[in-house]
Chains A and B, each alone.
Chain A
Amino acid sequence: MTIGRLGVVMFLLFVIESTLVPWFIPTSLAGRLYPHFTLVFVLYAAMYGTRHKALMLGLLFGLLQDVVFYGSLLGLHTFAMGLIGYVTGLLLEKRKVTMMTALFTIAVCCMLYEIIIFAVYRVFWFTRESLAYAVVDHMLLSTFLQLGFALAVYVPARRWVQSAIPVRQPEKEEE
Chain B
Amino acid sequence: MIGLILFIAVIGFSLRDRQLSAPEKFVNDSVAYVQQWLYKPAGYIAGFFEDIRNIRSLQEENEQLRTTAAAYARDKIKYNVIEKQNAQLEKDLKFTERQRKLNDYEYLIAQVVSVSSDPYNPTIKIDLGSENGIKENMAVVTVDGLIGIISKVSAFSSNVEPITSLDEKSPNSKSISVTVLGRENESFGIIATYDQENGRFEMSRIPENDPMIVGDTVITSGLGRVFPRGLVVGTVETTPQAGDFGLTKVASVKPLADFNRLTEVFVVKMSDYEGGTP
Contacts and interface: CB of A to CB of B under 8 A. Distances in A.
A20 B38 contact: yes
A2 interface: no
A162 B172 CA distance: 44
Interface in B209-257: none
B117 A23 contact: no
Contact of B3 (A67, A82, A128): A82
Contacts of B167: 125-128
Interface residues of A, number: 48
A100 interface: no
A64 interface: yes
A69 B125 contact: yes
B159 interface: yes
Contacts of A72: 14-15, 121, 151, 161, 170-172
Nearest to A121: B120
A159 B120 CA distance: 34
A30 B13 CA distance: 32
Interface string A103-129: 000000000001001101100111111
Contacts of A117: 118-120
B117 A35 contact: yes
Contact of A21 (B10, B20, B31, B117): B117
A71 B121 contact: yes
Interface in A16-56: 16-24, 27, 30-31, 34-36
A157 to B, nearest CB: 19
A129 B196 contact: yes
Contacts of B169: 125, 128
B11 A15 contact: no
Interface stretch (A73-81, A89-97, A147-155, A165-173): A73-81
B261 A15 contact: no
A88 interface: no
Contact of B35 (A18, A35, A129): A18
A120 B4 CA distance: 12
Nearest to B44: A23
A22 B125 contact: no
A23 B260 CA distance: 9
Interface stretch (B54-62, B76-84, B85-93, B108-116): B108-116
Q: Which residue, of A30, A68, A127, has the highest number of chain B Cβ atoms within 10 A?
A: A68
Contact of A19 (B4, B10, B35): B35
A71 B38 contact: no
A75 B15 CA distance: 11
Given A15-B35, A126-B167, A71 B159 contact: yes
Contacts of A134: 119
Contact of B11 (A17, A36, A74, A127): A74
A28 B272 CA distance: 41
Contacts of A125: 167, 169-171
B97 interface: no
Given A74-B10, A124-B15, A126-B170, A118 B114 contact: no
A65 interface: yes
B28 A67 contact: yes
Given A27-B261, A30-B260, A125-B167, A74 B35 contact: no
A138 interface: yes
Contact of A124 (B42, B117, B170, B196): B170
B275 interface: no
Nearest to A16: B38
Interface of B: 3-4, 7, 10-11, 13-15, 20, 24, 27-28, 31-32, 34-35, 38-39, 42-43, 45-46, 113-121, 123, 125, 151-152, 159, 161, 165, 167, 169-172, 196-197, 260-261
Interface of A: 15-24, 27, 30-31, 34-36, 64-65, 67-79, 82-83, 114, 117-118, 120-121, 124-129, 133-134, 137-138
Which 9 pairs across A and B sit closest by C-beta, in order of nearness? A74-B14, A75-B10, A69-B116, A19-B38, A19-B39, A18-B114, A121-B120, A30-B260, A79-B7
15 contacts: A15-B35, A18-B117, A20-B38, A27-B261, A69-B123, A71-B116, A72-B14, A72-B170, A75-B7, A75-B10, A117-B120, A121-B120, A124-B15, A127-B120, A137-B196
